[in-house]
Amino acid sequence: MADLPSHLKGGEIRDLGGRLVTPALIDCHTHAVFGGNRAREFEMRLEGATYEEVSRAGGGIVSTVKATRAAPEEILLVEALARVDALIAEGMTTIEIKSGYGLDLETELKMLRTARSIMARRAVRVITSFLGAHAIPPEYAGRADAYIDEVAIPTLEAAHQEGLVDAVDGFCEGIAFDTAQIGRVFDKAKALNLPVKLHAEQLSHFGGTALAARYGALSADHLEHATDDDVKALAASGTVAVILPGAFYTIRETKAPPIEFLRAHGVPMALATDCNPGSSPLTSLLLVMNMGCTLFRMTPEEALAGVTRNAAQALGLDDVGTIETDKRADLAVWNVADPAELSYRIGFNPLHSRIFGGTT
């Protein structure tokens, strides 16, 4: 108290009763704005279909594109707010939300406007990522290069001009876009002075991690099939590895991300919900922390860093994620005695209060 700056002396003192205080939680990878749901595809996978088989049969991302194109903006907002509220209730104050379920100019902009409008209705910070290179829409089937040139890049330019984009993402995979196609999108992002990130090596080893490293991406996400050399490249580029256990769990993956390689090479590991209607219909960062520990043998300390400090780095934010002088007072107060309890419990929310910018 003796060291408290003079302009703060005499202010309110709040007794938190010995509770644990951490930085507020950050969800650094979500697709929280979308139309419809994919419960039927959930059933199909249980009946034996793989994620790729569902996608190639016209389901997957393309089915959500149809529902999102048809949904009015006000419906998208109401449904997205319900997902965001679930995360807020567990101490989240910062969320990244991607586009990518429009795959045309009008709907991609509609999604990004919806994501931005959440901040006017909730005490939460929204970081938007343009994910036009998410899938190939039916009208461009077999013409991925034309889609990149005629839709993805022009839509990115329009979204940037409207001030709707904080970063640019892509899906580099056999069922989506190759490294050359993503590279063209990233070249445009760099020309617009926008940082990039990438869905990489989720279903196969496709070269996305190395591509992300070459472009100095903020993050490379999923990484189940990343190699030791890929991880070395991430370490050299300063790229954060975003681990997404919800998708691993939902699509019943068997190849886990290379946690030991990431540790060995000092690559920061973030954790996120990957909230989306198909591969990760998840809106609990506390469950994500437990999954990171249980499925991937992360430590509780790594899990907490993954939804605070490292999640902030994955979004390029330097004013949140830790409790330090001159940072935002985004805090979570917990009814626990030990930080490990946040990862230990399943289906239990010990949040006492959430502080956003110094305000409860």
Strand partners, 23: 331
Question: Residue 293's domain is classified under what CATH number?
Answer: 3.20.20.140
Q: Which of 37-51, 192-206, 220-234 has the lowest mean pLDDT?
A: 37-51
pLDDT of the residue at 3: 85
Q: Which tens digit of pLDDT belongs to each residue from 215-229? A: 999 999 999 999 999
Distance separating alpha carbons of residues 164 and 171, to the nearest angstrom: 20
For the whole model, what pTM was predicted?
0.96
Q: Which residues are annotated as a binding site?
A: 29, 31, 38, 101, 134, 199, 202, 274, 276, 278-279
Q: Which tens digit of pLDDT belongs to each residue from 121-153? A: 999 999 999 999 999 999 999 999 999 999 999
Quote the mean pLDDT of the chain.
96
pLDDT of the residue at 279: 92
pLDDT of the residue at 273: 99
Q: Does residue 5 fall inside a structural domain?
A: no
Q: Which residues are annotated as a binding site for N-formimidoyl-L-glutamate?
A: 101, 276, 278
Q: Does residue 55 fall inside a structural domain?
A: yes
Q: Does residue 7 fall inside a structural domain?
A: no
Q: How far is CA 189 from the centre of its chain?
A: 18
Domain span including residue 181: 26-325
DSSP string, 268-294: -EEE-----SSS-----HHHHHHHHHH
Q: Does residue 354 fall inside a structural domain?
A: no
Q: Which tens digit of pLDDT belongs to each residue from 154-173? A: 999 999 999 999 999 999 99
Checking if the pLDDT of 55 tops 80, the result is no
pLDDT of the residue at 7: 82
DSSP symbol at 152 = I
Confidence of residue 8 (pLDDT cuts 50, 70, 90): confident
Q: Does residue 234 fall inside a structural domain?
A: yes
Helical (H) or strand (E) element with 331: strand 331-334
pLDDT of the residue at 56: 74
Q: Does residue 335 fall inside a structural domain?
A: no
Checking if the pLDDT of 58 tops 90, the result is no
Checking if the pLDDT of 87 tops 80, the result is yes
Q: Which residues are annotated as a binding site for 4-imidazolone-5-propanoate?
A: 38, 101, 134, 202, 279
Strand partners, 25: 92
Q: Does residue 353 fall inside a structural domain?
A: no
pLDDT of the residue at 52: 79
Q: Which tens digit of pLDDT belongs to each residue from 256-286? A: 999 999 999 999 999 999 999 999 999 999 9
Q: Which residues are annotated as a binding site for Fe(3+)?
A: 29, 31, 199, 274
Distance separating alpha carbons of residues 263 and 226, to the nearest angstrom: 14
Q: For the residues 31-46, what does the mean pLDDT come to?
A: 91
Q: Which residues are annotated as a binding site for Zn(2+)?
A: 29, 31, 199, 274
Q: Are 22 and 340 in contact (CB under 8 A)?
A: no
pLDDT of the residue at 246: 98
Q: Does residue 157 fall inside a structural domain?
A: yes
- Number of domains present in the structure of the chain: 1
